Amino acid sequence: MADKNITPGESGFVALLEANQDIVHKVCRMYARTADERHDLFQDITMQLWRAWPGFRHESKLSTWMCRIALNVAISGLRRRRAPTVPISESQHQLPAPETETSDEIFRLYKALDSLSKVEKSFALLMLEDYSYEEMSQITGLNTNHLRVKTHRIREKLRTLIQRQITL
């Protein structure tokens, strides 16, 4: 279950970030409105991941661990810009932005997602990323039955919001 082949230290962290940057970019897109806010949030998440990296215990998948931290930073509104204990070189810290999709469906989805609460957004993101209920449970700390009910309600809410946009 755990990814134990990741090397410790800066190179291992950079490899982790490069391999899983899409989830961080999606969290940033979900919780920040402007490009500057998304950039700041990406940096905040990266800093928190870097600080937490030495304590990763390999008890869950790296992507699950990373998603949990990213969501916690985004939801809590962490904006403190502290330097990591061991600095990451500037060249390795700049990752490319994800490709942007501009289709009407994507636009309607993001508009509907913007109407959700911060907590509902986190569940929607986990659903969109196809996390299993067990993985979602590890990330949120909620039991799987509660997650099933919450995700069902959020799906219905999103359907309703998107339908309203189509009929307007």
Is the CB of residue 142 less than 8 Å from the CB of residue 150? yes
**% residues pLDDT > 90 (the chain):** 26
User: Is pLDDT above 60 for 63?
Assistant: yes
- Domain that includes residue 139, residue range: 101-168
Q: Tell me which of 48, 82, 100 is where a domain ends.
A: 100
How many whole angstroms separate alpha carbon 7 and alpha carbon 18? 14
Counting the structural domains of the chain, the total is 2
For residues 95 and 105, membership in a common domain is answered with no
Q: What CATH number does residue 54 fall under?
A: 1.10.1740.10
For residues 71 and 21, membership in a common domain is answered with yes
For residues 137 and 91, membership in a common domain is answered with no
Q: What CATH number does residue 162 fall under?
A: 1.10.10
Q: For residue 57, what pLDDT is reported?
A: 80
- HEC secondary structure over 9-56: HHHHHHHHHHHHHHHHHHHHHHHCCCHHHHHHHHHHHHHHHHHHHHHC
pTM of the predicted structure, to 2 decimals: 0.63
**98-140 pLDDT, tens digit each:** 555 557 887 888 888 889 998 899 899 898 888 899 988 888 8
For residues 29 and 77, membership in a common domain is answered with yes
Distances (CA, A) of 135 to 4, 23, 78, 167: 17, 14, 24, 36
User: Is pLDDT above 90 for 42?
Assistant: yes
Q: Please give the biggest Cα pair distance in the chain.
A: 53
How many whole angstroms separate alpha carbon 43 and alpha carbon 45? 5
**139-167 pLDDT, tens digit each:** 888 899 999 999 999 999 999 998 888 88
